[in-house]
């Protein structure tokens, strides 16, 4: 006989995932597009009975959540700023359904680049610019003591930025013991697929001031800047290790923007090993002679870190 165990619902979220949406901006003859994948999740104690008592009385249908994404995208003026559109969606659910305590919205923007036709950017034709995406994630929650207040957790990111440089990277003076076979490298190909995330310092605000408060932060400029810093330091740094280069990237962006609280990177090594051609008539292709490489996907090194603003430097 199975013993009875006392349990409770510890936490929950539910909603709609993978809502695909293309917004075409036709305010001028030069069209712009935002190709988005959206996730909207709701939480709150009123949803407990849907799990524990099979009651749907408080449940907003996930189909309605999907429809809300399309309706707000039609009327919104901020779809091209992911952070503001995510905040608009999250705040809508809190304002519309008084029993919703938290709204968690994630938006992924897929890259489209304008076609060059006859030497000029075309007004309304685009090509998919790789797998890199821009992303944002916001969690807006009712304040604990004041229903009109909102607490905001907000972070944005770059995902899948594939970069490579053919020199300017070394890896030497690491631990050598009975398990070590990797030779030291004075110069090597360095490649990684960048995932970078930056967290914003956003104060609690009244519900009516969520968008106006967030509107003071230049989100699109910050995104462009973090991406530019990542590429600039990657290209220019005489890298002694991925760790050292990562730290410079993160520190630079925090120092550039007062709104950033933390910057995190995940940098998996994309290995390119010089092929030993000495077996073929003594052909030299190692160390300074290397120019033919074999890409090796797995296993790969993975370097991660979070760099935070010091207490003395906060807003």
| Ramachandran angles phi, psi of 19, nearest 5° | -75, 115
Q: Is 117 exposed, middle or buried (0-12, 13-18, 19+ CB in 10 A)?
A: exposed
- Helix residue ranges, H only, 39-198: 48-52, 62-75, 82-96
- Asked if residues 60 and 42 have their Cβ atoms less than 8 Å apart, the reply is yes
The enclosing H or E element of 297 equals none
Q: How far apart are CA 154 and CA 156, in angstroms?
A: 7
Known active-site residue 252: no
Check the annotation: does 224 bind a ligand: no
- Asked if residues 19 and 106 have their Cβ atoms less than 8 Å apart, the reply is no
Check the annotation: does 242 bind a ligand: yes
Known active-site residue 124: no
Check the annotation: does 62 bind a ligand: yes
- Asked if residues 230 and 198 have their Cβ atoms less than 8 Å apart, the reply is no
Catalytic entry in 49, 62, 166, 213: 62
The enclosing H or E element of 157 equals strand 149-165
Helix (H, G, I), strand (E, B), or coil: what is residue 166?
coil
Known active-site residue 271: yes
Check the annotation: does 188 bind a ligand: yes
Catalytic entry in 16, 104, 110, 252: 16
Check the annotation: does 39 bind a ligand: no
Check the annotation: does 243 bind a ligand: yes
Catalytic entry in 92, 110, 141, 271: 271
Structure tokens given for 46 = 């009123």
| Ramachandran angles phi, psi of 141, nearest 5° | -130, 145
Check the annotation: does 278 bind a ligand: no
In degrees, to the nearest 5, what angle opens at C-alpha 260 toward C-alphas 254 and 265?
65
* Residue 87: DSSP 8-state: H
| Catalytic annotation, residues | 16, 62, 271
> Residue ranges for the binding site for urate?
62-63, 171, 188, 242-243, 269
Known binding-site residue numbers for 5-hydroxyisourate: 62-63, 171, 188, 242-243, 269
Known binding site for O2: residues?
Answer: 62, 269
Annotated binding site: 62-63, 171, 188, 242-243, 269
């Amino acid at each position: 006989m199975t013993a009875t165990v006392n349990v409770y619902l510890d936490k929950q979220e539910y909603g709609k995932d993978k809502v695909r949406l293309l917004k075409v901006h036709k305010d001028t003859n030069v069209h712009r597009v935002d190709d988005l994948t959206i996730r909207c999740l709701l939480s709150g104690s009123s949803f407990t009975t849907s799990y524990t008592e099979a009651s749907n009385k408080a449940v907003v249908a996930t189909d309605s959540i999907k429809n809300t994404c399309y309706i707000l995208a039609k009327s919104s003026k901020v779809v091209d700023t992911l952070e503001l559109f995510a905040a608009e969606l999250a705040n809508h659910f809190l304002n519309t359904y008084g029993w919703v305590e938290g709204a968690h919205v994630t938006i992924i923007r897929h890259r489209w680049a304008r076609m060059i036709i006859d030497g000029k950017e075309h007004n309304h034709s685009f090509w998919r610019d790789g797998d890199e995406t821009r992303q944002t994630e916001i969690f807006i929650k009712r304040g604990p003591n004041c229903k009109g207040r909102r607490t905001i957790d907000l972070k944005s990111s770059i995902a899948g930025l594939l970069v490579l440089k053919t020199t300017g990277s070394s890896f030497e003076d690491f631990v050598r013991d009975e398990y070590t076979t990797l030779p030291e490298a004075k110069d090597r190909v360095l490649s990684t697929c960048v995932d970078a995330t930056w967290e914003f310092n956003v104060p609690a605000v009244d519900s009516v001031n969520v968008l106006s408060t967030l509107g003071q932060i230049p989100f699109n400029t910050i995104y462009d800047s973090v991406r530019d810093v990542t590429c600039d330091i990657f290209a220019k740094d005489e890298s002694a290790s991925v760790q050292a280069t990562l730290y410079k990237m993160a520190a630079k962006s925090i120092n550039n923007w007062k709104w950033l609280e933390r910057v995190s990177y995940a940098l998996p090594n994309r290995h390119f090993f010089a092929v030993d051609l000495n077996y073929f008539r003594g052909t030299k292709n190692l160390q300074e002679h290397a120019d033919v490489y074999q890409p090796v996907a797995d296993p790969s090194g993975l370097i991660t870190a979070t760099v935070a603003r010091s207490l003395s430097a906060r807003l």
